[in-house]
Amino acid sequence: MIEGIMIGLSTALTPTNLAFVMLGCLAGTFIGMLPGLGPMSAIALMISIAASLDPAAGIILMAAVYYGAIFGGSTSSILINAPGVASTVATSFDGYPMAKKGMAGKALAVAAYSSFSGGVIAALFLLVAAPFLASVSLSFHSTDYFALMVLGLVAVAAFAGKGDMIKALLMTVVGLMLSTVGTDQTQGVPRFTLGLIDLVDGISFLLLVMATFALSEALLAILKPKGDADRLKEKEASQNLGSMAVSRSEVKEMAPVVGRSSILGFLVGVLPGAGATIASFLAYGTEQRLAGPEKGKQFGKGSVRGLAAPETANNAAATGSFVPLLTLGIPGSGTTAIMLGALIGYGIQPGPRLYIDQPAVFWSVIVSMWIGNIVLLILNLPLIPYIARVLAVPSRFLLPLILFFSLIGVYFVSFNTFDIQLMVIFAVAAVVLRFLDFPMAPMILGFILGGMMEENLRRALLINNDSWSFLWERPLTLSILLIAAACLVAPMLTSYLRRLKRQVYDKAGEGG
C-alpha cells in the first residue's frame, strides 16, 4: 500500500495533474451551483477534454469535476432552495432556513467544512479499505438492495413532525406512484401515461424537484407578499450574509455528526446503485433521531446538525462510489457510469486487477481526492461572502431569476414544452400541499427510490420463484428489515413511554 501511495503522489503531484485537479474543482463547483446542471452534466462536458489527455490525467480531471459539482451543488440548495441534484435535496432542509434567517454565510461555511471533512475521511477509507470493501459489496444481492431501499424509505420518519407521520407516509406513497409512470423496464410497455407520448420516458427527477422546491417557493413568495416587518427582517438579514463564523459550541456539535455521517456515507456509496442521494437522506434521518426530542425539533428550521449531516454524507458517498467503479468495474451511479465509459475508452478495464495492472491510474485518483478537497476548501471559503450576496438581491429581481433558471434548466434537459407545462402543474399542486402542511421531502425520496426498489424486488422474486420467503431467509436482508422496523417503531414507542411516564407522575402527584 505504501508503494501504491508513493506512485499516486508522484503521478498526482506533477504540475500538469495538479493544474487539472484545480481546473476540475473550479469547473465542477460552478457547474454544480447552477440549478439544473449536476455532476452528470459536468462530467459529460469534460469528456471531450479528457479524451485528449493521458489516462491518469483524464480520470483525475473527471474525478475533480465530480466531487467539485457535488461540493458546489449545495449552494443553490442553500441560497434559493433549488436543489438541481438529488444528493443536495436534504441540504436544503436546513440550509435554506438558515439563509432566510440571515445566516447564509454560516450555512455555506458549514457546508464547505462538512463537505471537506466527508471527502477527506472517505478518501482515507478508500485508500485503506478499497480491495476489502469490493468483496463485501459483491456479497450484496438484489434482496439486500430491496431491504436497503425499505430502510431508506423509513427515513420519512425524519421529515415528520409531531403527529404528521401519516402525512409523511402518504407523500412517500405519492412519490412511489409517480416513479412508476413511464415505460415498464422489464416488459417494455407504457404504464400510467394517460395515452400521452411525452410520458413514455417517465417523469424527470429534475422536473419534479425544481417544481416542488424552487418553483413552488417562488409561487409561495408571490402569493404571500412580505409585510413591512418581514421586509425589515430581510434587510437586516442581508447585512449579515457574509458572516462565516462558526462558534466553538457549533464545532463541538458538528464533530460527531461529521464522523458518523462520513462512515455512513462512505459505506452507502460503496454499494453499487445506492449512491450519494440515499446516503444524504439516511444521514439526515439518523442524526435527527440521535439529536433527541429537543434538538430534533430544530431540524428543518436551520439546524447546524441537519445541514452538516447530508453535506458530509453525500461527499463521502461520492468518494465511496469509486470503490465499485475502480475495483469491480461496476458503476454505482449515472455519473460513475460515464466515467466507466471514459476508462474503457482509454483501453483500461476497471476491475480487481486495476490496481495491479494500472497502479498509476488507481492510486493517483485516490491521492488526487485529498488534494482536490483541500483545493475546494481553499477556492470556496474566500468566495462565500460574495456568493451569499445572491440573497441581498431584492425579491422583485430574485424571484423572476429563480423562475427563469428553474424553467430553462428543465427545458434544456429535454427541449420539450410539455415538461414546462407538467412542471407548472406540479408546482401548483406543491403549493396547495404546502399550505396543508404536507412535507415535500418524503415524496422526493419515494420518487428517487421507487425505480430501484421495484427493479430489485422483481429480480428478487424472479430468483426466488415468486416467493416472498427471501425477506426472512437471507440473514443480511432480515437484519436490514429489522433495523428499518426498529427505526419506524422507535419514535412511536418513545412517545408512548413518555405519555405513560407522565400519567404515572400525575397519579403519584394526586396520591400525594
Profile the chain (512 residues) by mean pLDDT over runs of 10 residues.
Answer: 73 84 84 67 71 81 82 78 74 86 83 87 79 64 79 65 72 88 81 85 80 79 62 48 71 89 87 72 84 78 88 86 72 66 73 69 79 82 70 68 76 80 90 85 78 81 78 81 78 70 68 56
Could you read off the pLDDT of 418-467 as tens digits, one per residue? 888 888 899 899 889 888 888 777 787 788 778 778 888 888 888 777 77
Is there a contact between 271 and 144 (Cβ–Cβ < 8 Å)? no
A 10 A CB-CB count for 78 gives 31
- Name the nearest CA neighbour of 401 among 204, 234, 217: 217
Conformational region of residue 252, where left means phi above 0, alpha means psi within -120 to 50, and beta covers everything else = alpha
Say which DSSP state 212 is in. Answer: I
pLDDT score of 237: 45
Residue whose C-alpha is closest to residue 451's, from 297, 334, 325: 334
Q: How many Cβ atoms from other residues are within 10 Å of residue 317's Cβ?
A: 34
Strands 190-191 and 182-183: antiparallel
Given a contact cutoff of 8 angstroms between Cβ atoms, the answer to whether 430 and 440 are in contact is yes
Letter string b/e over residues 23-54, b meaning 16 or more CB atoms within 10 A of that residue's CB: bbbbbbbbbbbbbbbbbbbbbeebbebbeebe
Q: Which residues contact 512 (CB under 8 A, 6 or more apart)?
A: none
Half-sphere exposure of 283 (CA within 13 A, CB side): 42
Query: What pLDDT score was predicted for residue 506?
Result: 67
**pLDDT at 119 (0 to 100):** 84
Tell me the C-alpha to C-alpha distance, in Å, between residue 124 and each of 238, 266, 283, 365. 39, 10, 19, 12
The whole-number pLDDT of residue 312 equals 92
Q: pLDDT tens digit string along 191-238?
A: 888 888 888 888 887 788 778 877 887 788 777 765 544 454 444 444
Cite the beta strand spans of 145-243 per DSSP E. Answer: 182-183, 190-191
Query: Would you say 258 and 308 are in contact if contact means Cβ atoms under 8 Å apart?
Result: yes
Cβ 321 vs Cβ 276: under 8 Å: yes
How many other CB atoms are there within 10 angstroms of residue 222's CB atom? 12
Candidates 368, 394, 106; CA nearest to 241 is: 106
Which pLDDT belongs to residue 261? 92
DSSP structure class, residue 242: T
Q: Which amino acid is at 145?
A: Y
Q: What is the pLDDT of residue 429?
A: 92
The pLDDT value recorded for residue 233 is 45
Indicate if the alpha-carbon torsion angle 43, 25, 56, 329 is positive or negative: negative
Beta partners for 191? Answer: 182
422 Cβ contact list (under 8 Å, min separation 6): 198, 203, 207, 211
CB 369 within 8 A of CB 125: no
- Phi, psi (rounded to 5 degrees) for 216: -65, -35
* Whole-number Cα distances in Å, 322 to 34, 62, 71, 328, 346: 24, 12, 16, 10, 17
Q: Which of 294-300's residues contact partners 24+ apart within 8 Å by CB, and which partners?
A: 299/93, 299/94, 299/158, 300/93, 300/94, 300/97, 300/159, 300/161
Alpha helices in 415-474 (DSSP H): 417-435, 441-463, 470-473
Q: How far apart are CA 16 and CA 164, in angstroms?
A: 55
